[in-house]
Chains A and B, each alone.
Chain A
Amino acid sequence: MGKTIAEKIFDLHRVDTPAEGVEVLRIDTVFCHEITTPPAILDLIARGKDRVFDSHRIKAVIDHVSPAKDSKTALQGKVLRDWARRHQIKDFFDIGRNGVCHALFPEKGFVRPGNTIIMGDSHTCTHGAFGAFAAGVGTTDLEVGILKGVCSFHSPETIKINLTGDRGKGVYAKDVILAILGKIGTNGATGRVIEFTGAVIDAFTMEERMTVCNMAVEAGATSGICAPDMTTVTYLWPFIAEEFSSKEEALAAYRAFTADPDAEYAETVDLDVSSLEPLTTTGFKPDMVVPARELSGTKIDQVYIGSCTNGRIEDLRVVAQVIQGREVHPEVRAIVSPATPGVYGQALKEGLLEIFQSAGFCIMNPTCGACLGMSGGVLAEGETCASTTNRNFNGRMGKGGIIHLMSPATAAASAVTGHITTADAL
């Protein structure tokens, strides 16, 4: 019987089977941020076990509230910072060098095909774009990961989502994943892995694959995964050039993390993207998806461009293209947060920041802030935000606030008109 990508990764990392259907895996890399890690650190200290399994395999960043907004968030940063120094965690990213974890860590070359990765953050599934098994976990799993380098999972069932057809103009990776959510629902992949396959994925850049894998958890998936290919190798090449004599050799090695033709899937979902149009969400669940044009009368108070879903350079280029020569509507607060210093620097170099600034955008530093209503763009009760983030839960961006999820292109067009607008309608 053939194997899925997740099954192959599990086979290479299994250290224990404590019960039928439960597998304890060796974790290649543990990612940490300042919200969910400090309670793990404090508990380890309280237990007299303030140790790390391998300081080179732990990467940490302060990203959720940066700069600190008050004494409490300052303390969270301090607990993480002191711990990183105490244990000589070299890859620790503090203000000025920090960015949204799921954008920063791939950019730093910390993810490889076949890796197992955990983090106390549900959007860790993003890193599956590289052919890794990457899962969000709670603080206790994180704590054991830090201490022992292991984590327990149920044996992975996989759903294959096969994406075919030609994307129309103005339809982006975000529209594709929203369409998938609309089709399978927020409970459609609970406890399972999603393998994204098909010509659409093959043609996607790594940034686009990350956008798709990022929202796999919105369907309940443990990890989204894309098989590694030459696009993966080319993205990783600056980090792996010393390991392999050629890109072809790297690709041959990474092919080990491709599903077998006779792999067994719990379910296969086919989606032809040809008929897709720009989408958005309504209500308080990310699977309540509608064509953006159907909500074109919806007035907005804020536009937010950023996050681990859509804060990368390609996203910013699209926004700049839409708003160039136009202005943010006088009744809209438009915020853009490039997801990493690398993205910020590149946007600066390409003149994108100038376009944002002259159009009337507020350009923020890289942070998760507004996406979960912690800082930098919290909504007042009854306000509406057109957002490139990943969750439209009730109160997520501030109590009583309403979020419509959409692509950077649609968010940018909405910033110009003051109501939900697709870019082609400008």
Chain B
Amino acid sequence: MKEFNGPVLFLDRSDINTDEIIPARYLTEITREALKPHLFEDLDLPGFRPEKDIPGKKVIISRENFGCGSSREHAPWALEVNGLYTVLAPGFARIFRQNMFNCGLLAVDLSEEDCREIFQRFAGTEANCTIHFDSSTLEITSLENRLSLTFSLSKFERDLIQAGGWVDFADSRYEH
């Protein structure tokens, strides 16, 4: 299992799509590491500077329908090679969400209310997120603020995280 905790990157917009996470022009790369400098290259978000804002972050908190668009698993890979193993958002596109768990990465659904509160209290600050996987709770903290939330993952999603992804899970369970 990966280390899911750490500093938060806030991306305050809904419908951030996979072309914005990693543009198609980099899908010709054979290694995942080659995607690293291009994460969020086409994301046009006021004040966001990928080269300054991404390094050191471990957790993304964003808005509705994160990861919509293409099926490219290069999107979670581009997050992974940048050390971003967790995304919190009030809803994900189906393929992106499945791709995260298939890679042993974490996509956590927030309620819209919790999401609003998080952005209100923490956006623009240096915040940290700690995931307590076993008790299904998470904590977001900054110098002045602390917020505890519960989250839910299905048994299947937990199994995938623990197995390190879908290939190993399926391999132990299905013929061929």
Contact = CB atoms under 8 A, between A and B. Distances in A.
Interface of A: 15-16, 18-22, 24, 35-36, 38-39, 42-43, 47, 49, 51, 53, 64-65, 70, 72-73, 75-76, 120-122, 124, 136-141, 143-144, 147-150, 152, 154, 186-187, 190-191, 220, 222, 285, 372-374, 391, 393-396, 399
Nearest to B100: A138
Contacts of B73: 36, 39, 120, 138-140
A122 B91 contact: no
A16 B68 CA distance: 28
Nearest to B165: A140
8 contacts: A65-B28, A72-B29, A121-B70, A122-B95, A140-B166, A147-B171, A148-B176, A150-B170
A137 B94 CA distance: 9
Interface residues of B, number: 45
B156 A43 contact: no
A399 B176 contact: no
B98 A141 contact: yes
B62 interface: no
Contacts of A42: 30
A190 B93 contact: yes
Contact of A220 (B71, B93, B165): B93
A64 B24 CA distance: 10
Interface in B46-101: 64-65, 68-73, 76, 91-95, 98-99
A124 B167 CA distance: 21
Contacts of A154: 94
Interface of B: 14-15, 17, 19-20, 23-25, 27-30, 42, 44, 64-65, 68-73, 76, 91-95, 98-99, 102-103, 154-156, 159, 165-167, 170-171, 173-176
Given A137-B95, A147-B171, A187-B65, 9 more contacts: A20-B154, A35-B28, A147-B167, A152-B98, A152-B156, A187-B91, A222-B94, A372-B70, A373-B24
Contact of A43 (B25, B70, B167): B167
Given A53-B176, A140-B103, A187-B64, A374 B25 contact: yes
Contacts of A138: 71-73, 76, 95, 98-99, 102
A137 B98 contact: yes
A54 B167 CA distance: 18
Nearest to B14: A187
A18 B173 contact: yes
Given A16-B174, A18-B159, A143 B99 contact: no
B92 to A, nearest CB: 8
A36 B76 CA distance: 13
A13 B78 CA distance: 33
Given A36-B73, A65-B28, A19 B159 contact: yes
Contacts of B171: 49, 147-148
B28 A72 contact: yes
B91 A190 contact: yes
A122 B71 contact: yes
A399 B155 CA distance: 41
B71 A21 contact: no
Contacts of A374: 24-25, 27-28
Nearest to A154: B94
